[in-house]
Chains A and B, each alone.
Chain A
């Protein structure tokens, strides 16, 4: 596609349920990042994938969070047993190579009620 695509745009879930957020990066981009953004705030790094290397998971806030990237393309961020503090906008970005310009998707707004 022309840009980074994320789905769903909005997700409302009950506390304790699991959610999956999807990111389709720009074709050919080797690096993919997940960030979390609280209302009107900066971005908090979660995880990134670069080619076939092991992902950098250093930003994941707890073991309830996990992510995978299949076939070097689509990525899924999974949050298990969601809590109210997980409510935020989850942003995905891809770059042609590590360190090059990041292109962001429009984000998934997650609300845990």
Chain B
């Protein structure tokens, strides 16, 4: 069974601060996705990374896939209250498990004005 360890579980910061969320595994993933979920809603895809070492930017969010495709990080610059939510990483192992996502435990981010 492939596991994704996500840290930290909780993050409470002030507006304007930077933060990084980590997603680690001992297993290799063919791709890794980051989602954001708000209360009462389903997760919404932010980005998919597929190549080892890949870096993708989405406005103030920077996503990185580790060289060995076992870990990933999400960095938010100058966080805003609108960034508040549950952030989830999810890996696709590929092969016979292609399309079946393994999710991390999530990081609950609160950005205070």
Tell me, rounded to whole Å, the shortest Cβ–Cβ distance linking B60 to chain A: 22
Q: How big is the A interface, by class?
A: 20 to 34
- B86's closest neighbor in chain A, by CB? A40
- B96's closest neighbor in chain A, by CB? A56
A93-B42, A101-B45 as given contacts; A42 in contact with B103, CB under 8 Å: yes
Tell me, rounded to whole Å, the shortest Cβ–Cβ distance linking A96 to chain B: 11
Q: How far is the CA of A93 from the CA of B44 in the complex (A)?
A: 11
A-B pair count, CB < 8 Å, reads: 59
- B44's closest neighbor in chain A, by CB? A104
Q: How big is the B interface, by class?
A: 20 to 34
Secondary structure dominating the interface of A? strand
Q: Are B106 and A42 in contact (CB under 8 A)?
A: yes
A42-B88, A42-B105 as given contacts; A56 in contact with B45, CB under 8 Å: no
Q: Are B103 and A102 in contact (CB under 8 A)?
A: no
Chain A residues packing against B (C-beta within 8 Å): 4, 31, 33, 35, 40-45, 48, 50, 56, 91, 93, 95, 98-99, 101-107
The 9 sampled A-B contact pairs (Cβ below 8 Å) are A4-B42, A45-B101, A45-B102, A50-B99, A101-B45, A104-B41, A104-B43, A105-B42, A106-B42
Chain B residues packing against A (C-beta within 8 Å): 4, 6, 31, 33, 40-45, 48, 86, 88, 90, 92, 98-106, 108
